[in-house]
Amino acid sequence: MMRIFFVFCLVVFPMILLAQNTISVHVNNVSSKKGKVNVAVYNSDEAFLSFEQVLTTESVQANEGSVVLKIANLPAGEYALAVFHDENDNGKLDTNWLGIPREKVAFSNAEMKTFGPPKYKECAFHITSDYIININL
């Protein structure tokens, strides 16, 4: 009986520690069905808004009104999201000559500021299980 318990602990305990979670990102106020809605997931201040250090990304065909993106296989931890509507579907965030986005952008838990994007800590949230977040473009 003790051996069965020991084997059970060896198998189940690591699975609990490495439990993977899904973030369901509900993006509202999508202006058209053109292009795609993209989300980038970051897990540190140093990586935030860096294309080279993004943890993972997901995209879905745009739909006027709202779309849902699912980010799977995330361990418990702190994350921040950046979302943009790539209306012309060219795979990048279009900006003007000053670097100001021409396409709609949004962030988890924060809004674009007058002089740039919010900081990681303003956007960050913590997950310990599956999580639903609403973001308005």
pLDDT digits (tens, 9 = 90+) for 118-131: 999 999 999 999 99
Among positive and negative, which fits the CA dihedral 27, 31, 119, 40?
Answer: positive
Note the pLDDT of residue 83.
97
Candidates 137, 134, 62; CA nearest to 105 is: 137
Confidence of residue 82 (pLDDT cuts 50, 70, 90): very high
Note the pLDDT of residue 113.
78
Candidates 128, 110, 130, 129; CA nearest to 120 is: 110
For residues 74 and 26, what is the distance between their CA atoms, to the nearest angstrom? 17
Confidence of residue 51 (pLDDT cuts 50, 70, 90): confident
Helix or strand (DSSP H, E) at 69: strand 65-74
User: What integer is the mean pLDDT of 104-119?
Assistant: 89
For residues 84 and 30, what is the distance between their CA atoms, to the nearest angstrom? 10
Is residue 62's pLDDT more than 60?
Answer: yes
Candidates 69, 88, 76, 74; CA nearest to 135 is: 69
Mean pLDDT is lowest, of 36-40, 96-100, 104-108, for: 96-100
Confidence of residue 8 (pLDDT cuts 50, 70, 90): very low
Note the pLDDT of residue 114.
75
Q: Which residues of 89-105 are buried (b: 16+ CB within 10 A; e: fewer)?
A: eeeebeeeeeeeeebbb
- Please answer whether residues 78 and 125 qualify as being in contact, where contact means their C-beta atoms are separated by less than 8 angstroms: yes
Note the pLDDT of residue 19.
66
With tokens 């993004």, the residue in question is 54
Note the pLDDT of residue 99.
84
